[in-house]
Every structure is written in C-alpha cells, then in structure tokens.
Amino acid sequence: MIALLLVPLVLPWLLPPLARRTAERVRPDIALWSITAASAALGFGVVACLGALLFPLALQVPQLAVLVDLIQPLKAGPESLVLGISALAAGIAAVTTVAGARRMASEVRRLRTARGSVAALPDAGGLCVVDDPHPDAYALPDGLRGRGRIVVTSGMLRALGGDEREVLLAHERAHLAGRHHLFLAAALIAAQCHPALAAVVHPVSFAAERAADEAAARGAGDRRLTAHAVGRAALAAAHRRGGTRLPVVIPGAVTGPVPARVRALLGEAPTRRIVPALLAMVLVCTGAAASSLGGAALLHRGVEVAQGEIPSH
C-alpha cells in the first residue's frame, strides 16, 4: 500500500520536460488544455495520496481509532516504516499548505491591486488606456467569465504602428475569449501541491501566449506582421522600470520567451495534434491514477481487516 501511494508523489517530476516539449511542438490550444489537465490531475493525485498516507498516523490517536471502529491495529507494512512515512507526509502536508496559502493570498492581493488601479478609468468596448509612458499591455480577467478589460498604456500605443496595435489588441482579446486566466490559475494551484509542478506553470503560460499569438495572426491574416508586433512590444516593454508586479493569472502580449514565439510566428501555422511527449504525459497521469486507486483500495481493505469485517487472509 505504502509503495503504491508513494508513486504519485514521484511521477510529477516527469511532467516538466514533457510539458515543455508539448508546448513547443503541439498546436497551442491543444497543448494548453493537455498540459493544464495533466498538471491539475497530478496535483490532485498528490493531495489525495498525502491524505491517505496520513491515515496510519491519525489512527494512532485512540479517539480517531474508535471513530472508525478498529478492533485491531491497521496493518500497512512494518510499523516503524509506515509511521515514519506517515509522519513525514504530515510534515510535508503542513509545510505545503502554509506555503500554498501564502502564495495564493499574495496572488489574490496582486489581482485586486491590478483591478483597483484601473477600476475608475473609462473603457471603450473593454479597452482601457492608461496614461503611462512605460509600455505595457495585458488582459485583465473578470472572474470565471470571459469578459474583462484589455489594459494598454499610452507608452505601448506610441511604440507600435497602427497595424501592430490592432494585432496587440487581437492578442489580448484572444486571452479573454479563451479564458486563459483559468488555465493559469489551475496551473498555479497545482504548483502549490508539488514542487515539480511549479515548473509546469511556465509551459502553460507559453502555450497560452502561443494560442493568443495564433489567434491574432489568423485575425490579421499576416503571420509576419504578428511576429513584428510581438517583437516590438516586447522590446518596448523591456525598457520598463519598476512598476507593480502582475499576478501569474494575468496574461499579456510581452509574457514568456518572446524569441521562441516570434520564431514560431515566422514559420507555418502549427497543425500537429499529437507528439510522443503528449502521449508520455497521458501515460504519467494514467500511472499516477492507477497507483492512487490501487493504494486506496489496499488501504480500504486494511481498514476492513482492522475492523474485523473481513479476514486477513
């Protein structure tokens, strides 16, 4: 039982390199969905397995053991090993919970600050122009809904030509229409469950930016123009000094590895739906799910034996 429950805690380390390859080689919208789903599934599996590993230690408390009607100790393996792993899982769960709560609270504060900074400003069709010489542009989401505001500074508008401005706005509209903030939020929550999943936030962000790039290119009908707009916007924003740090869930046109995005736009539109890395991600998630279910089944059987409901052999 213990071995099976440990497997889902190890498998997340395989996801970051697979996620990077998938984001680079699979069609962006498919990559965004698949990487986010894999990250969320593994994060849920980690939480479930940590909870199951806490069970043997919790049953050492007589009051809890009475609640589940145990008539004999739970047998899950060598007692010292099982209790040691259970205690370690309790420590990891406590540290992870505190660190995750702090990170999420910080992200919520940044999101509220970003919304508050433009709440009183007028907008035209969801476009809000901030009088700021420092170039910047991002899609400010509105909760679970696709509606939101596109925030662009006057500095960014001056840095781009007319056609490039249209591409920039199309890029941000694609973020809002695709609800990319929800994918980023899911990846960020999963990242709080396991340190390896923190490295997956970047591929999710890259896939979201690539998906918005491709949507803008289709709207403009010119991939080269879109590449120039992305590159010029990034170069202009690179000279920005200071400013408020935006939360991870707010996507923007100058986010991510811009050179890789520009190279992709200068090539042909991506069409690949499946690559070996994507299939490997599916196998990793399947293995984690199978191990979790197997460990849970053995744990349930052990509890039934300890309750005297079924014989031990």
| Total-model pTM | 0.88
Distance CA 104, CA 187 (A): 12
Query: Of 167, 300, 152, 281, whose CA–CA distance to 224 is shortest?
Result: 167
Q: How many Cβ atoms from other residues are within 10 Å of residue 245's Cβ?
A: 10
Q: How many residues make up the chain in this entry?
A: 313
| pLDDT value, residue 89 | 86
Q: How many Cβ atoms from other residues are within 10 Å of residue 124's Cβ?
A: 7
Q: Which residue has the higher pLDDT, 274 or 188?
A: 188
HEC readout, 7-61: HHHHHHHHHHHHHHHHHHHCCHHHHHHHHHHHHHHHHHHHHHHHHHHHHHHHCCC
For residue 117, what pLDDT band results from cuts at 50, 70 and 90? confident
Mean pLDDT of 6-31: 92
Distance CA 232, CA 162 (A): 13
Find out whether 86 and 232 touch, Cβ atoms under 8 Å.
Answer: no
Query: Of 258, 247, 186, whose CA–CA distance to 42 is shortest?
Result: 186
User: Side chain identity at 155, as an amino acid letter?
Assistant: G
User: Side chain identity at 145, as an amino acid letter?
Assistant: R
CA 213 vs CA 28, 30, 236: distances in Å: 9, 14, 18
Query: Of 239, 237, 248, whose CA–CA distance to 168 is shortest?
Result: 237
Dihedral angle of Cα 20, 22, 26, 29, to the nearest 10 degrees: -80
Q: Residue 283, SS3?
A: helix
Alpha-carbon Rg for the chain, nearest whole angstrom, is: 24
Q: How many Cβ atoms from other residues are within 10 Å of residue 259's Cβ?
A: 11
Distance CA 157, CA 57 (A): 60
Query: Sign of the CA dihedral 19, 23, 28, 30?
Result: negative
Q: Crossing angle for the helix pair 15-25 and 201-220, nearest 10 degrees?
A: 10
Mean pLDDT of 126-150: 84
Q: What is the pLDDT of residues 293-312, one digit of tens each?
A: 887 776 667 666 666 666 65
Q: What is the pLDDT of residues 39-61, one digit of tens each?
A: 999 999 999 888 888 877 776 76
| pLDDT value, residue 292 | 82
Burial 62-88 (b: 16+ CB within 10 A, else e): eeebeeeebeeebebeeeeebeebbee
| pLDDT value, residue 168 | 95
Q: What is the pLDDT of residues 208-266, one digit of tens each?
A: 999 999 999 999 999 999 999 999 999 888 866 555 678 888 887 787 789 999 999 99
